[in-house]
Amino acid sequence: MSNQIECPVDNTFIDEYKVRVTASLVFISSGIILSTQSKYVALLLVIDFFTRSFKLGKYSPYLQISTGILRLLKIAGKPTNAAPKRFATTIGLIISAAILIALLAGIINVAEIFAIILLVFSFLESFLGFCAGCYIYTFYRKLFIKQ
């Protein structure tokens, strides 16, 4: 079995800078959740990840903010393949839903663990341009898809 990292790939592209600014907003939101245990911020994350996971980006609050920031700063787009980012967004949806459910159930420690995971993943993407989704995808394929 190969130790090579695999990423999902398709023929669609998105703006890498928009992805990174959006990840910065997720990073900030994760920090707010850690410090306040805000169910409303957790719900906002779920809504945002849901819209982006199901290709409804025009309804994504964070994507709209990111677009505005990049337009204001007059930063031109840089294309990157959309499939790995879409996979990572789906992971973000699962994690943010787990945060919200744990907060609603009053299981703060579990919510904090998931918020830390989201904080780390969003930090890696936003500040280092490192997508942890490809590593998760590789692990998933080795575990569930026999080749």
Q: Is 49 left (phi over 0), alpha (psi -120 to 50) or beta?
A: alpha
Contact call for residues 18 and 70 (beta carbons, < 8 A): yes
More confident residue, 141 or 24: 24
Q: Tell me how far CA of residue 127 lies from CA of 37, 40, 43, 130, in angstroms.
A: 24, 25, 24, 8
Count CB atoms within 10 A of the CB of residue 64.
15
pTM over 0.85: yes
Domain ranges of the chain: 13-144
Q: Tell which residue, 126, 95, 139, 130, has the closest CA to residue 113.
A: 95
Express each pLDDT in 100-135 by its tens digit.
Answer: 999 999 999 999 999 999 999 999 999 998 888 777
| Selected residue with higher pLDDT from 105 and 87 | 105
First to last CA, the chain: 10
Q: Give the residue with greater pLDDT, 60 vs 82.
A: 60
Alpha helices (runs of H) in 1-147, residue ranges in sequence order: 16-36, 39-53, 61-72, 82-105, 108-128, 133-144
pLDDT of residue 140: 77
Q: What is the mean pLDDT of the chain?
A: 91
